């Protein structure tokens, strides 16, 4: 099987959680329409490294363009919620500089250990791995300028409650950026029933007390990018 075809197949089968903030097991409809649409085990780090860090991902995930669109200032404190293997963390680290901090947040202990090892290997001293709870990112109160969730939002149970609680970690002027899958058939990504429509994300964030601040257009071929701030 060609590498490109293998990459697509792996994503269709089970890589819909390219970020992993909330993968704890539970009943599929624990919170009705606010339940996570997919749950996976992320214990096998090598398996997920082969998927999340596949060089072919750059062509459609466009991490440098995403980070540029966030317009981060030097010295900012950013939380990469559902950091997974650290695919985005290193780009965030470069954007905010040595005086900033990237909290690489995940709830899988094996991935958090990998995040620490990767930060040491890549020399990103400003990346701080954080072992989160499925319903709590475990971040400092009033300590974060930006919460970034890439391919993670649809893995969180009771999302309005999660983000209502998350408001306490945001500094004045803090933002939440969500990148997730367009709800249509795509050549990469999870099955259709694992995806959340853009409109549902906006509604749920409004329920949590946020307003849509920005939406970079034509940035990603298969995903939307939504930026919110607390009302």
Q: What is the pLDDT of residues 102-118, one digit of tens each?
A: 999 999 999 999 999 99
Tell me which of 3-17, 21-35, 140-154 is least confident: 3-17
Tell me which of 39-48, 181-190, 202-211, 213-222 is least confident: 39-48
Write down the residue that tokens 């709870």 correspond to.
133
Where does 36-122 have alpha helices with state H? 45-52, 58-61, 63-69, 89-96, 109-122
The model's pLDDT over 158-181, given as tens digits with 9 standing for 90+, comes to: 999 999 999 999 999 999 999 999
The pLDDT of residue 146 is 98
Measured CA to CA, the distance from residue 117 to residue 129 in angstroms comes to: 10
Considering only residues 112 and 44, tell me which one the structure prediction assigns the higher pLDDT. 112
Considering only residues 105 and 35, tell me which one the structure prediction assigns the higher pLDDT. 105
Q: Are 91 and 115 in contact (CB under 8 A)?
A: no
Measured CA to CA, the distance from residue 127 to residue 83 in angstroms comes to: 11
Largest CA distance in the chain: 51
Mean pLDDT to the nearest integer, 83-95: 96
Q: Does 18 score more than 50 pLDDT?
A: no
State the pairing for strand pair 170-181/223-230. Answer: antiparallel
> Which residues span the domain enclosing 58?
3-230
Considering only residues 127 and 35, tell me which one the structure prediction assigns the higher pLDDT. 127
Q: State the average pLDDT for the chain.
A: 87
Q: Does 15 score more than 90 pLDDT?
A: no
Give backbone dihedrals phi and psi of 27, rounded to 5 degrees, phi first. -65, 145
- Tokens at residue 167, please? 């408001």
Tell me which of 12-26, 102-116, 210-224 is least confident: 12-26
The pLDDT of residue 44 is 74
CATH of residue 128: 3.40.50.150
Mean pLDDT to the nearest integer, 21-40: 57
The pLDDT of residue 124 is 97
The helix (H) or strand (E) run that includes residue 159 is helix 159-166
Q: What is the CA radius of gyration of the chain?
A: 16
Please state the domain count of the chain. Answer: 1
Mean pLDDT to the nearest integer, 7-29: 38
Mean pLDDT to the nearest integer, 8-25: 37
Q: What angle do CA 157, 207, 197 make, to 5 degrees?
A: 65
């Amino acid at each position: 099987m060609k590498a490109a075809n293998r990459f697509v197949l792996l994503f269709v089968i089970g890589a819909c959680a390219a970020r992993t903030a909330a993968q704890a097991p539970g009943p599929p409809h624990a919170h009705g329409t606010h339940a996570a649409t997919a749950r996976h085990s992320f214990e096998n780090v090598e398996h997920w490294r082969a998927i999340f860090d596949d060089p072919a991902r750059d062509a459609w995930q466009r991490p440098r363009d995403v980070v540029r669109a966030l317009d981060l200032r030097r010295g900012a404190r950013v939380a990469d919620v559902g950091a997974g293997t650290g695919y985005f963390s290193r780009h965030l680290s470069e954007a905010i500089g040595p005086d900033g901090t990237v909290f690489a947040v995940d709830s899988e202990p094996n991935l958090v250990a990998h995040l620490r090892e990767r930060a040491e290997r890549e020399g990103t001293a400003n990346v701080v791995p954080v072992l989160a709870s499925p319903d709590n990112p475990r971040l400092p109160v009033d300590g974060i300028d930006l919460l970034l969730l890439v391919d993670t939002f649809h893995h969180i149970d009771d999302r309005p409650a999660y983000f209502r609680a998350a408001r306490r970690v945001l500094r004045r002027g803090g933002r939440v950026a969500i990148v997730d899958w367009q709800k249509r058939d795509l050549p990469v990504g999870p099955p259709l029933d694992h995806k959340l429509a853009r409109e549902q994300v906006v509604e749920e964030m409004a329920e949590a007390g946020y307003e849509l601040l920005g939406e970079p257009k034509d940035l990603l071929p298969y995903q939307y990018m939504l930026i919110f701030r607390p009302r």
